Amino acid sequence: MVRQLVNKIKESSISEIHEISYHSLAGNEPPWQRSDTHIRAGETYTLIAAGKIQWSSRDPSLYGGPGFHLWSRVPGGQINNVVRNTGTFVADRTGTLELGIYFGTWANTEGELRTEYSNYTSLNGSLEVIVIVWKDNAMNGLKKLTTVNNSTLLNEAFVQLQYPVITPIGWEYLKDTGVSDIYSSNSQNNNKSIILSATDDQGILRKPIDFDVSPSTQLQWDWKLLEHPSQNKEDEARYHDYISVAAEFDNGRDLTWIWSSQLNIDHYFDCPIKAWSDRETHYVIRKGIEQKKDWLHESRNLYTDVRKSMQFTPNKVTAIWLIGVATFQHASARAEFSNIKLSDENETIQVL
């Protein structure tokens, strides 16, 4: 399908296109592969992709598509990821474009892996990728292509540019899990909130904070659940789809308070995903979906919860996270967050 689309795009003879190429990326090749496409700083390029990377030879339901795995970079520059199947980016330096299959965690924003290359040996499958380098306006070029080609992928790439979902002001996506469009701001009835809406997608929204932790430190928030992404116990890797609020600490670890569909309240566990197990701990504070669509208030003694579940004394909160994961069971995660506060006996910070 993707190879045929390359030929159709070439036949379209769109004047805005500078170069177009096709690439097949094997899932078990970690992580960067040269594309032989030379690009100059400031040039715009679009990635259009399809395919699956299979995580398990025993369970065909465990896989990820381009939105989970496909990244790009010019070596030495910043890494970028597609959202679902497509993405349009501006090269931040001149060089040969590289395409990468991401599996694990990044060590930095230039695309060095923190995790072992050996993790790739169990992967199967591949991604097919089209690279379009634009010599003129990418929006106009994609619009022209959609008018002459009946392609869902081309239409998706065009819509992403025409109707971008703006990341809530003051927040950023955690690079380890990639930039997405699953979070949006909502200001109805003078109640500022952030909406999560993800289908077979994931993302961590992060707001940098500098807050010293004491035994009186409280994290408070309101949230409502609209659709839970799991009907199974989330402490198993294959079912690790969840919704949560988290605190990041100055030692690089984070504690996430989750709304579980099955696990008992006060159950806590290290992340079952191998690459995250020594970094993240989950603490169940809600169970089931019987109260969905109602706003519920939470208040946690952050100091006590960390010492109990993570066995260290927290010193400083460096960020608050909103987490939505719906990629393992390919379901939907929908929720809304509001009125997030960090406080102690001396001060209160309004996070949201």
**Nearest-5° Cα angle at 247, 280 to 290:** 85
Residue 12: pLDDT over 90: no
The tens digit of pLDDT for each residue in 200-217 reads 999 999 999 999 999 999
Q: In a 10 Å sphere around its CB, with 0-12 CB exposed, 13-18 middle and 19+ buried, how is residue 83 labelled?
A: buried
Backbone angles phi, psi at 154, to 5 degrees: -65, -40
CB 90 within 8 A of CB 43: yes
Q: Which two tokens stand for residue 311?
A: 């066995």
In this prediction, residue 187 has a pLDDT band, given cuts at 50, 70 and 90, of confident
The tens digit of pLDDT for each residue in 68-122 reads 999 999 999 999 999 999 999 999 999 999 999 999 999 999 999 999 999 999 9
Specify the pLDDT at position 123: 95
Q: How far is CA 42 from the centre of its chain?
A: 25
Measured between alpha carbons, how far is 163 from 3 in angstroms, rounded to an integer? Answer: 27
Architecture (CATH level 2) of domain 2-162: Sandwich (2.60)
Closest to 261 (Cα-Cα) out of 310, 201, 329: 329
Specify the pLDDT at position 9: 86
Per CATH, is 172-350 categorized as 1.10.287? no
2-162 shares its CATH topology with 172-350: yes
Residue 57: pLDDT over 70: yes
Average of per-residue pLDDT values in the chain? 94
Specify the pLDDT at position 189: 66
Residue 190: pLDDT over 80: no
Helix (H, G, I), strand (E, B) or coil at 191: coil
Specify the pLDDT at position 238: 94
Residue 184: pLDDT over 90: yes
CB 320 within 8 A of CB 248: yes
- Percent of the chain exceeding pLDDT 70 equals 99
In this prediction, residue 292 has a pLDDT band, given cuts at 50, 70 and 90, of confident
User: For residue 200, what are the CA distances in angstroms to 137, 203, 352?
Assistant: 31, 11, 26
Residue 172: pLDDT over 80: yes
CA atoms within 13 A on the CB side of 59: 11
Residue 133: pLDDT over 80: yes
Measured between alpha carbons, how far is 82 from 71 in angstroms, rounded to an integer? Answer: 6
Q: In a 10 Å sphere around its CB, with 0-12 CB exposed, 13-18 middle and 19+ buried, how is residue 66 labelled?
A: buried
Q: Are strands 254-260 and 280-287 parallel, antiparallel or unpaired?
A: parallel
- Percent of the chain exceeding pLDDT 90 equals 87
Residue 297: pLDDT over 90: yes
Specify the pLDDT at position 85: 96
The tens digit of pLDDT for each residue in 145-170 reads 999 888 999 999 999 999 999 999 99
CB 85 within 8 A of CB 158: no
Residue 136: pLDDT over 90: no
Q: Which residues pair with 267 in a beta bridge?
A: none
Break the chain into its structural domains and give their ranges: 2-162, 172-350
Torsion (CA) 343, 344, 346, 347 in degrees, nearest 10: -10
Residue 127: pLDDT over 80: yes
Measured between alpha carbons, how far is 187 from 173 in angstroms, rounded to an integer? Answer: 20
In this prediction, residue 290 has a pLDDT band, given cuts at 50, 70 and 90, of confident
Residue 13: pLDDT over 80: yes
Backbone angles phi, psi at 219, to 5 degrees: -110, 125
Measured between alpha carbons, how far is 71 from 178 in angstroms, rounded to an integer? Answer: 9
